[in-house]
Amino acid sequence: MSDLADSPAVRRLDDWDLERLESLADEYDTPLYVMDLDRVKANYARFSAAFPDAHVMYAAKAHTGKAVLEAVLEAGGSIECAAWGELRRSIDAGADPNELQYTAVNPPDHDLDYATDLAAEHPGLTITIGAVDTLERLAERGYDGRIAIRINPGIGTGHHEKVATGADAKFGIPYERVPEVAERVREDFDLVGLHAHAGSGVLTAGLEDHCRAISRVGEMARRVGDDTLEFVDVGGGYGVPYREDDEPLDLEKTSNMVREAIGDLEAQLKLEPGRYVVADAGLILSEVNTIKEAPDTTVVGIDASLATLIRPAMFGSYHPMLNVSAPDREAREVTVGGPVCTSADVFAHDRPVARPERGDVVAIGNAGSYGYELASQFHSQPRPAEVALEDGEDRVVRRRETLEDVTRVERESGQ
């Protein structure tokens, strides 16, 4: 695994084999998700190597594709899940249910039913609660097993206010209530850990605030008795450089700062990287279908849309773009948008791209995390295919949806 851990810390679009990408677009059509499973394993190994004494779990919500989950498990990882579907998909990928951690956020009844039924057969499953209500609902189901308490540290970090979970009342038990809740848990359950997650997309420059939240988690662990806990889970949120001039996360500095922030603990440290593991392992290939000269810009229309990748519309996120077909053409500033009927369906404004022409294939980078996971059928568009690369081979791991797939649930209901 050491050769994977020593892989480059950042992967730019220029680092991909452009000829191969163009051949994939030709063979499998566009828009197309491409996931490099070798890169997934390398990213996991590199992160784990930076925290040799910690238990590193993969946050499944970043990408729950079976091939990705299998790659994480092959790399020696375990998995943290935030919903019943992620539990099921992790098990389908080969995960041991006894090693899964389920982090419940306002869980629907079917989530808790599934988790407690699973725990009845696999008592090693850990359920993380962020509300006293959830404890009551678990007790109603006869559950008395492993519980971790999610703390709201009151400090949010990350690339956007919509991912700064550490200061959002939706997430976790209010900080000063944790000791009383811990005592309540110990009465009827097996309290095994504390959990917190400050935010997402943190790079080296944002580590100070991130570690202030972690420091509070360490303090609380010692207040409730860290010698009685199995673990203290400080979540994930570790970012990747989306912009071409952003530096990658300094893992050595991150490890040192996290260790210093958490302080001395008897309990094991846990971390949950998601984005870091899969973001730069994935991209989208899309074909140019329209070139339109407008008074203030040149509009380049592509067949990917916000239904394919919603992050730019939802978070204003920057994703690098490259003309795969002709990377050496002279660059020109263009606006790149998709076929959805809203002004939000734009991937880039005034972005320098090697002059696109109709029929060119464009790559949209860093799409491996929260890309396919947030894809939709908006405008009744079938979701794209996904191809996995591994050991020099490629294979379809998610077929392209058809219009029949889009309308199937209606037809099967008799509509």
Q: Which residue has the tokens 């848990």?
A: 185
Assess contact for 235 and 193: CB atoms under 8 A: no
142 is in an annotated binding site: no
Q: Tell me the CA distances in angstroms from 156 to 29, 219, 334, one per residue in order.
A: 41, 17, 35
Angle at 289 between CA 287 and CA 290, to 5 degrees: 140
CA dist., res. 211 & res. 235, Å (int):
11
237 is in an annotated binding site: yes
Locate 291 and state its tokens. 């070139």
Which of these, 90, 14, 71, 17, lies nearest to 392 by C-alpha position?
A: 17
Assess contact for 43 and 6: CB atoms under 8 A: no
Task: State the number of CA atoms in the 13 A half-sphere of 67 facing the CB.
Answer: 23
Helix axes 132-140, 178-188, angle to 10 degrees: 10
Handedness of CA 328, 329, 334, 335 (dihedral sign): negative
CA dist., res. 369 & res. 347, Å (int):
16
Is 341 catalytic? The answer is yes
Task: Indicate the Cα dihedral angle 191, 233, 216, 177, nearest 10°.
Answer: -30
Locate 389 and state its tokens. 């690369």
Give Cα 318 distance to the centre of its chain: 16
Other beta carbons within 10 angstroms of residue 2's beta carbon come to: 7
- Please identify which of the residues 3, 341, 409, 413 carries the catalytic annotation: 341
273 is in an annotated binding site: yes
What is the Cα gyration radius of the chain? 22
Residues in the chain: 415
276 is in an annotated binding site: no
141 is in an annotated binding site: no
Q: Which residues contact 157 (CB under 8 A, 6 or more apart)?
A: 164, 166, 198, 199, 202, 206, 209, 210, 213, 237
225 is in an annotated binding site: no
Which of these, 39, 95, 43, lies nearest to 64 by C-alpha position?
A: 95
52 is in an annotated binding site: no
CA dist., res. 91 & res. 89, Å (int):
5
Query: In sequence order, what DSSP letters do the residues of 103-132 get, joined into one string?
Result: E-SS--HHHHHHHHHHHHH-TT-EEEESSH
CA dist., res. 205 & res. 239, Å (int):
11
Annotated binding site for substrate: which residue ranges?
A: 275, 311, 370
Q: Which residues are catalytic?
A: 341
Instruction: Mark the binding-site residues for pyridoxal 5'-phosphate, compressed into ranges.
Output: 237, 272-275, 370
Binding site residue list: 237, 272-275, 311, 370
